[in-house]
């Protein structure tokens, strides 16, 4: 990474935008739904929920145009534009999605990322910063916003501050997250470029995460968790080849489609467990709590199990 990140402040603007994409924007942003469901190959249930989605941008546009406040439709359109490299179009679609769901931190941070990628000259435009800060106001744990605001610190010369923020994020990274290695490399390489010894800092975070691991592994495994299998090593390796920003946006869109399907088929208890877990990993705690309420209302005979699953996931 050092060879594409000149220390000079006169680096071409476009290369600085590329830096953000390479350093973290499209690496860290891969926090999707944890390592179980960030890619369709790893989660058949989410794939099934997405099977009937329109596949082309014109189809998505037509569906979104029917309702200016349909946040799910506009977000799927935004994801399609982003995947195709239409970052300005993605930003406009995300902004419209926010009209229908203004308190959704994920939408605000996705808007910020799209504005960063759409910028021709400014590597961190003010409009993007505003979107990231709005996401943090709504959800201080939003990983994409936290990552990009740390990138902003790095770009303004506060390299230690950026590293500190990335370390804090790494400490909270779910074990086994596919983007964990990318984040660690970012910390190491930015440290190397700016003569900051990150080895002891990373070792401290690793020790703290290891100390927390036994409590997690000691928790009982309920049926719902077992019913949603994790990926094989081959699947994880294949998923790493997908641009991580696409992983993030794909995951968000699929979670919304899963939510929509459960409204039509509320008897799928495993699906509700998946939705709660997905919402929590995306930082959508309020929506996870609402999913629990809706699941219990639709399946009163499974209330005890659903609440036990929710407790394991930290849903309150």
**Structural domain span for residue 22:** 2-313
Of residues 179 and 75, more confidence is placed in 75
What is the distance between the alpha carbons of residues 88 and 68, in angstroms, rounded to a whole number? 18
* N-terminal to C-terminal alpha carbon distance within the chain: 41
- Residues 88, 257, 310, CA angle at the centre, nearest 5°? 120
b/e map 277-311, b = 16+ CB within 10 Å: bbbbbbbbeebbbbbbebbbebbeebeebbeebbe
Mean pLDDT of the chain: 73
- Min mean pLDDT across 125-134, 138-147, 163-172, 256-265 is at 256-265
What is the arithmetic mean of pLDDT over 257-282?
81
- How many domains does the chain divide into? 1
What is the distance between the alpha carbons of residues 166 and 204, in angstroms, rounded to a whole number? 13
Closest of 179, 5, 21, 4 to residue 85, by C-alpha: 21
Q: Is the pLDDT of residue 182 over 60?
A: yes
Do the beta carbons of residue 252 and residue 287 sit within 8 Å? no
Indicate which CATH number applies to the domain containing 74: 1.25.40.10
| 211 C-beta neighbours (distance < 10 Å), count | 9
The pTM of the full predicted model, rounded to 2 decimals, is 0.60
pLDDT tens figures, 226-264: 333 333 344 344 444 545 555 566 667 777 878 888 887
pLDDT tens figures, 147-178: 899 999 999 999 999 999 999 999 887 766 65
């Amino acid at each position: 990474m050092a060879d594409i990140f000149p220390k000079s402040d006169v680096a071409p603007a476009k290369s600085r935008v590329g830096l953000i994409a390479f350093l973290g924007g499209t690496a860290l942003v891969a926090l999707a739904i944890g390592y179980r469901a960030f890619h369709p190959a790893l989660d058949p249930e989410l794939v099934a929920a997405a099977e009937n989605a329109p596949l082309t941008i014109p189809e998505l546009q037509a569906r979104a145009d029917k309702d200016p406040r349909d946040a799910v439709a506009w977000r799927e359109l935004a994801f399609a534009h982003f995947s195709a490299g239409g970052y300005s179009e993605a930003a406009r679609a995300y902004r419209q999605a926010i009209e229908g769901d203004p308190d959704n931190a994920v939408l605000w941070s996705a808007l910020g990322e799209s504005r960063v990628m759409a910028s021709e000259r400014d590597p961190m435009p003010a409009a993007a910063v505003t979107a990231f800060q709005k996401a943090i106001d709504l959800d201080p744990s939003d990983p994409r916003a936290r990552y990009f605001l740390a990138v902003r610190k790095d770009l303004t010369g506060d390299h230690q501050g950026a590293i500190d923020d990335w370390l804090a994020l790494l400490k909270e990274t779910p074990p086994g997250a596919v983007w964990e290695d990318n984040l660690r490399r970012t910390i190491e390489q930015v440290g190397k470029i700016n003569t900051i010894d990150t080895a002891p800092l990373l070792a401290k975070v690793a020790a703290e995460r290891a100390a927390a691991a036994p409590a997690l592994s000691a928790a009982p495994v309920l049926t719902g968790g077992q019913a949603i299998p994790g990926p094989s090593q081959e699947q994880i390796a294949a998923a790493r080849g997908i641009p991580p920003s696409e992983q993030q946006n794909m995951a968000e869109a699929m979670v919304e489609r899963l939510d929509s399907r459960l409204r039509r088929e509320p008897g799928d208890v495993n699906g509700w467990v998946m939705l709660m877990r997905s919402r929590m990993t995306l930082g959508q705690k309020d929506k996870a709590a609402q999913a629990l309420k809706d699941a219990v209302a639709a399946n009163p005979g499974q209330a005890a199990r659903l609440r036990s699953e929710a407790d394991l996931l930290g849903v309150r």
